[in-house]
Amino acid sequence: MTVATKRFLSRKSSFFDIGGVWVAIMEGEALPDQTYNHVAFKMSPGEYEDRLQRIRALGLKVREGRSRVEGEGHSIYFYDYDNHMFELHSGTLEERLRRYDQEK
Choose, from 27, 49, 72, 87, the residue flagged as catalytic: 87
pLDDT tens by residue, 29-71 = 888 888 888 888 888 889 999 999 999 998 899 987 666 667 6
Residue 19 Rama label (left phi>0; alpha psi -120 to 50; beta)? left
Domains contained in the chain, number: 1
CA dist., res. 90 & res. 104, Å (int): 23
CA dist., res. 32 & res. 82, Å (int): 9
Residue 82 falls within a domain, yes or no? yes
Catalytic site residue 87?
yes
The yes-or-no verdict on residue 75 having pLDDT over 60 is yes
Domain of 40: which CATH number?
Answer: 3.10.180.10
CA dist., res. 24 & res. 4, Å (int): 10
Q: What percent of the chain has pLDDT over 90?
A: 20
The yes-or-no verdict on residue 87 having pLDDT over 70 is yes
Mean pLDDT value of segment 72-77: 85
- Domain span including residue 72: 28-102
